[in-house]
Amino acid sequence: MIEHLSAEQISQWIVGDRPWELQEHVAGCAECRAELTRMENALSQFRTAMREPASFVPAPSWRQPEPRPATWFSWRRMALTATALLVLAAVPVTWRVRVHEQALREQADQSARSALADSQLLETVDAEISQAVPQPMEPLVTLATWNSSSTEQNQKSQER
């Protein structure tokens, strides 16, 4: 058995949540009944006061709003037009940027290829220059070397 309704239980009752045990207690407790009645009366008085005509402003006479005349200007239309123009302007710019970038890439590739060819050519030239005589004349050099050494031997023997 509940002794008396707590503040929460009174609020619960007022909100309309009334479990059986609360109903049983209220039925047998004059003090809690008085407390609930006091609260309910206050709310009822408040409701009455709020519904008193003294606080009201009478309803205005309703005049059907006239439909707006159709105009060519509207913010939505302006926004759509601006967006469409931006898109139209952006397409050729983007296309041109892409073409330019592609041309630059091709140019760079071409430069890299020609640089490689140049360096290979230079290596070949360097290799050729570093040789004392051209390759087709190398047997003659051997022959000349052999010839000059035999001449020197002849001269030495004659001197003796």
| Positions that interact with other proteins (CB under 8 A) | 7-8, 10-12, 14-17, 38-39, 41-43, 45-52, 54-62, 64-65
Q: Which is nearer to other proteins, 17 or 152 (CB)?
A: 17
Which positions ≥6 away from 58 have C-beta within 8 Å?
Answer: none
Residue type for 83, please? Answer: T
Helices then strands, each counted (H, E), the chain = 5, 0
CB of 100 to other proteins, least distance (A): 49
CB of 65 to other proteins, least distance (A): 7
State in angstroms the smallest separation of the CB of 36 from other proteins.
10
Question: What contacts 33, CB < 8 A, 6 or more positions away?
Answer: 26
User: By C-beta, is 16 or 139 nearer to other proteins?
Assistant: 16
Candidates 40, 34, 45; CA nearest to 13 is: 40
Q: Name the residue type at position 85.
A: L
Of residues 23 and 44, the one with the C-beta less far from other proteins: 44
Task: Report the nearest approach of other proteins to the CB of residue 15 (Å).
Answer: 5
Closest CB to other proteins among 53 and 134?
53
Amino acid (one-letter) located at 100: H
